[in-house]
Amino acid sequence: MKSFKLKILRLALIVICAGLVAGSTMIIEFPIPTAGGCFNLGDAMIFVVALLFGPVVGGLAGGVGSAMADMISNPLFVPYTLVIKGIEGWIVGRIARTRGSDWVACVLGGTEMVLGYFLVEGLSFGVGAALEGLPFNAFQVVAGLAISPLAALLLRRRMPSILSQV
């Protein structure tokens, strides 16, 4: 019975965190004209979720939440975003759980995101457009690094112990 309750809790966390990722992606967004994307704070939320709840919740919430935001603002990128942001959340959660370094986890997950979008934008719009979007994606990672590890540290101290088991 205990495992059933944890599965329900994990599912609820995924849904809530996907909503938080979607919301943080859409609330503050600045368009990147050449590549068709946007600078936003969604990566910071993906980092926090993955750092707090691990690779499964981080990956699913990151991929689904970011894809939901793209359904509204940039539907062309939905399948790419689902995969790229899902992998990003999984990497951050996995590295944070196995290596114990929130900073390294966010840098590596953010690097995957930057390279993933560079590849997609390069194939879709050309290398020139991908190069123009590169600094915006990198800045999203830097913004996430400035916010997420500290936020996760503070939230871990206040988080009920049951949530760390998810």
Residue 126 within any structural domain of the chain: yes
Residue 114 within any structural domain of the chain: yes
Is residue 29 within a helix (H) or strand (E), and if so which, with residue range? strand 29-32
Residue 106 within any structural domain of the chain: yes
Domain tally, the chain? 1
Q: What tens digit of pLDDT does each residue of 97-124 get?
A: 998 899 999 999 999 999 999 999 999 9
Residues 90, 95, 100, 101, CA torsion sign: negative
Residue 94 has pLDDT above 90, yes or no: yes
Is residue 39 within a helix (H) or strand (E), and if so which, with residue range? strand 37-40
Residue 165 within any structural domain of the chain: no
Residue 163 within any structural domain of the chain: no
Read off the CATH number of the domain in which 152 is found: 1.10.1760.20
Is residue 30 within a helix (H) or strand (E), and if so which, with residue range? strand 29-32
Residue 164 within any structural domain of the chain: no
- How many Å apart are CA 11 and CA 64, to the nearest integer? 13
Residue 119 within any structural domain of the chain: yes
Segments forming the whole domain that contains residue 103: 2-27+34-158
Residue 158 has what pLDDT? 87
Q: What tens digit of pLDDT does each residue of 12-68 get?
A: 999 999 999 999 999 987 776 655 567 789 999 999 999 999 999 999 999 999 999
Query: Does the predicted TM-score (pTM) go above 0.85?
Result: yes
